[in-house]
Amino acid sequence: MDMRRKYSIIISDSYLFCFILSIILAGFNGEIFASPTSGVTPSGRVVADEAGIEQRTIRVTGTVISATDGSPLPGLSIVIKGTSQGTVTGLDGKYSINVPEEGTLVFSFLGFHAKELEVDGRNTINVEMVEAIETLDELVVTALGIKREE
């Protein structure tokens, strides 16, 4: 396979194909991703969605922080809306993902309100997540397995 050429492969079972392709391309210095709606493609390629409409992919990077104190949020989930393709932020809150130019990113993290942002061709999207502060109306504590001395 000529690695200088651009390839786009659309298949029905993209996860299995991605696994096989990773074995074939061992040592390939690039990125391969799989999505049930967009197939397997390196970044910057033109792919077709489920309606057959071609979309150009771009690399989006950014940092995700807490709106409360500005601290980075490691382990935050970022998914391309409508697919199972995604990534998580690193220890410094930074992320990088290939996404269709007109795609939507969904940011979610336990204890924070989820946020959906349209890419609109941007290469950098920095996000401030707002905490989901909710109070408990009632708390019930049970003591199971505790022995009482008599």
pLDDT at position 83: 87
pLDDT at position 40: 44
pLDDT at position 135: 59
Spans of all domains in the chain: 14-129
Q: How far is CA 22 from CA 11, 17, 18, 105, 113, in A?
A: 15, 8, 6, 26, 36
Task: Please name the residue that has the structure tokens 């061709």.
Answer: 121
Distance CA 58, CA 46 (A): 10
Distance CA 129, CA 108 (A): 9
pLDDT tens for the chain, residues 1 to 150: 555 666 555 555 545 555 555 555 555 545 555 444 444 444 444 454 555 555 688 999 999 999 999 999 999 999 999 888 889 999 999 999 999 988 999 999 988 999 999 999 899 999 999 998 775 567 677 767 667 676
Structure tokens at 19: 């696994």
pLDDT at position 42: 47
Q: Which CATH fold topology does 14-129 show?
A: Immunoglobulin-like (2.60.40)
Structure tokens at 142: 């049970």
Please check whether residue 18 is in contact with residue 25, taking contact to mean a CB–CB distance below 8 angstroms.
no
